[in-house]
Amino acid sequence: MAEALELLGEGETPEAAPRPGPAPGPEAGAPAGGGAPSASFLDGIKDAELRGWAANKGFPGLAEAMESHRNLEKLLGSDKAPLPRDEHDREGWERLYKTLGRPDDPAVYGLDRLEGVDPAFAGEAGGWFKEVGLNPKQAGVLAERWQSYVAGREAAERQRYEVASAQEVSALQGEWGGNFDGNVEMARRAARQFGVGEALPALERALGARGLLSFLHRVGSGLGEDRYEGGAPSKGFSLSPDQARSRIEALKQDTGFGARYLARDAEATAEMDRLHRIAFG
């Protein structure tokens, strides 16, 4: 607009008078109604650093300083602990952990009362929890999460193992064909003969279902299973009549054995005669 007036020959525009600014308020952080601190108030503060802080805050007197402290306490709460200076302030961290509820005795966590927890491990874990400053509630939540995680992993592993075991048995059944029931019975008697019944779960996990059955079957076969040699039975396992009849039915389904038997193979014929004597007298 000034350029237009100049072009129109109106001359320079008079400068506008400056607008009055806002009235100065109290210094930030100073208490309401504060003013310059009294000399007597400041002189009563012996510590030079504290005296300088009070002067900068502008507390007129002790009453205003106390009021400011009370208002701050209402805001933050009276039960508080100063923060540690840094990660090396061990005393500061100990003070903070205690304020947050960390127990003096790790036994307060009660980890030894959790189901399935080894007492020795509970003692070790309690020491860890205290070291990092956990209170009992935090420790309980952490222990619960850990137990849930471990149980889930164990369930998944158990399911995987059972599926793999079933697949191995199915494959072995296809390999043995009609001899499967008889071979399993031979393996079962071998386990009883050597008293390894209680160790079978561990052996199966080490060898697998197929490996364990095959191994015990070979052991039973090696012991002779009452094979006749020169007209006399050798020492070994004995079959009950029901077991012998079951073995006969299994051999009937075995095409390989059937072919040898029809061809009057001596071993196949002796095996069938032996089974008939046991089964039918």
pLDDT tens column, 28-71: 444 444 456 666 677 778 788 877 877 887 777 777 777 777 77
* Contact by Cβ (8 Å): 154, 195: no
d(C-alpha 239, C-alpha 164), whole Å = 31
Amino acid 80: pLDDT: 64
Selection from 8-17, 42-51, 137-146 with the highest mean pLDDT:
137-146
pLDDT tens column, 142-193: 888 888 888 899 999 999 999 999 999 899 888 888 888 888 888 888 888 8
pLDDT band with cut points at 50, 70 and 90 for residue 225: very low
> CA separation (Å) from 155 to 148, 158, 263?
11, 5, 53
Write down the mean pLDDT value for the chain: 76
Residues 6+ apart with CB under 8 A from 104: none
d(C-alpha 58, C-alpha 35), whole Å = 6
d(C-alpha 223, C-alpha 217), whole Å = 10
pLDDT band with cut points at 50, 70 and 90 for residue 19: low
Q: What is the phi/psi pair of residue 228, to 5°?
A: -90, 130
Dihedral sign, CA of 252, 257, 262, 264?
negative
pTM to 2 decimal places = 0.46
Q: Three-class SS of residue 138?
A: helix
pLDDT surpasses 70 at 14: no
Residue spans of the domains in the chain: they are 34-80, 179-280
Amino acid 153: pLDDT: 92
Written as six digits, the tokens of 202 are 């561990």
pLDDT band with cut points at 50, 70 and 90 for residue 78: low
Amino acid 227: pLDDT: 45
* Contact by Cβ (8 Å): 131, 90: no
Amino acid present at 247: R
Written as six digits, the tokens of 167 are 């697949």
Residue of 213 and 223 predicted with greater confidence: 213
Quote the DSSP letter at residue 27.
P
pLDDT surpasses 70 at 234: no
